[in-house]
Each structure stands twice: as structure tokens, then as C-alpha cells.
Amino acid sequence: MLTLPPNRTRSHRRPSAPVRATGIVCALLLTLTPVSAQVVDLAYDGFDYAAGALTGRSGGTGWSTGWIRDYGSGATFNVNTNGLTYSGLTTTGGRLAWGSGGNGISENSRTLPLVDEGVVYIQFLAQFGSSSGGGTPNLRLFKEGALTGGIGGNGGTFGGVFSILDTTLNPASNGSSSSATSLSTLSLVVTRIDYVNQSTSLYLNPNLATFDYLNPGTPQATYAGLAPAFDQIALYSRSPASFDELRVISAVPEPAEVLPFVAGVLAWWGWMRRTR
């Protein structure tokens, strides 16, 4: 009867010290490997349309419907073919501008799939008048027709600056949700909604060369306890108003470039174990 030599049975053999060390190194590399942010568009509209009324336009990506005007007393925004720009921001098409008519308020809205989990950003370029009130100027968020929050101004003590607004279109009474940036300043407005920690933060005119959507740093304004879910975005403004580059985005972690190296080491480790 044929017998195997002692200590040659696979089920009792431990990996050699070098192989075990390689495994430990790989585990450490996987643990310590940094990640970077991949910005993913959930919805986008750069208003790349011919001049004219916004109502009925349906360009961009990620939306469920085209732009409608559902505020009966107002008028539609108009498309101006001269778009707004911002350093480091890729732009397309024209911009929105206030349109006369009705009670002097321009309004349009558009629906998208429900956003209510994780961390998302609402980003846009805007320049309004130096004052606010009577419900304008702002971007409003709705869920199933109910107002859940907004960004902009609506009169009061902090009515002249960009603020995070609650379900009554008011900023936090202590000023924590209001920035120091005037509504009349052409601004890149980056709003971070954290559904995990139930908070909303505002970043005005960040340096896009260094801005990290995974770790954005200290915001200019924060509204603790407010994280508006939404399936509709609406724009409201009196004259003057310019608005552009509307984007709903998420920041998805992606492995850094060291992971291919780690994968190679793991493959080598597996080959060593099979051949010994």
C-alpha cells in the first residue's frame, strides 16, 4: 500500500513565514489604502436650450419630467444663451433669467427620483438681487408636493445673504444656517445634505481645485436637524435673477491607485500557496 511521506498532507500544512507575512502586509495595505471621491451626477441641467421660455424644456440628465410652471400667479423663467461661469467648473449652454409677467415672480419646477438617503449635494450658480422677501429668491425642495426646505433668501434678519431655509422658508433664528455671502454676489452654491446625521451644510464659492466632496471641510452655514428629502426642485425669484448649472450629485468612495498593487500581491500569494 502506498503511503505519503510524513508532513506532506495538505490538510496539516501551515503557510511558511514569508507567505504569512505577505498576507499580513496585504491586510495592512487594504486597511490603510486611502480613498478618493468620485462625483456622480444624480441629475443635471446646464440649460443648454435656445433662447425663450423655460417651461416645457426637458434637457439634461437624471430627471423624471421636463420643466413646468405650476405657480399660477407667476411667470416662467427665460433662457438666456449667455451662461454663467466659475473657475474650475465645466459649464454648458446658457442660463436662466427672470421673466416678466404675472405678479412679478418667475417660477419653474422639475421632478426627479426621490433623494432621501446617504449624503448628496445640490450645486448651482446663482446671482440675485441684494434683498429678499415675499417668498423669494430661492431654490425650494419638495417631497410628494410638501415643502421640505430651500436655499436662498426670504426676508428677515438674514434676508440679504444665502441661507439654508427650513420647511417654512426661514433660516435658523440664531443665524447658524446663514452665510456671509450676499445674494447679489455671483456664487457657486454647494449644499450638502447628510441624511445619516440629519444636517444640511452650505459651502459658498469653494476652490474646486481642492474641494473634496467626501471631506469638504468647514461650511459657511449649517442647519442641524434639517435634512430635506426631495423629489422635486423649484426655482422662485423676482427681478433680478440669474441661475445656472443645476446639479444633484453624490460622492462615491473609490479605491486609490495602490489597490492594483495589492491585488497583484494577493495573486502572487495565492500562486505561492498552490505551488508549495
Concatenated DSSP letters of 31-88:
HH--EEEEEEEEEEE-----SEE-TT---SBS-SS--B---TTSB--EEESS----TT
Residue 187 DSSP code: E
pLDDT at 108: 98
Output 4 or 170, whichever has higher pLDDT: 170
Distance (Å, whole) CA 249 – CA 124: 11
Residue 150 has a CB neighbour count (10 Å cut-off) of: 27
Distance (Å, whole) CA 233 – CA 140: 6
Question: In CATH, what number does 35-255 get?
Answer: 2.60.120
Query: Does position 231 have pLDDT exceeding 70, yes or no?
Result: yes
- Parse the chain into domains and list their residue ranges: 35-255
Query: Does position 37 have pLDDT exceeding 60, yes or no?
Result: no
> Could you tell me the pTM of the whole model?
0.81
Tens of pLDDT, residue by residue over 59-106, are 999 999 999 999 999 999 999 999 999 999 999 999 999 999 999 999
- Asked if residue 248 lies in contact with residue 41, where contact means CB atoms within 8 angstroms, the answer is yes
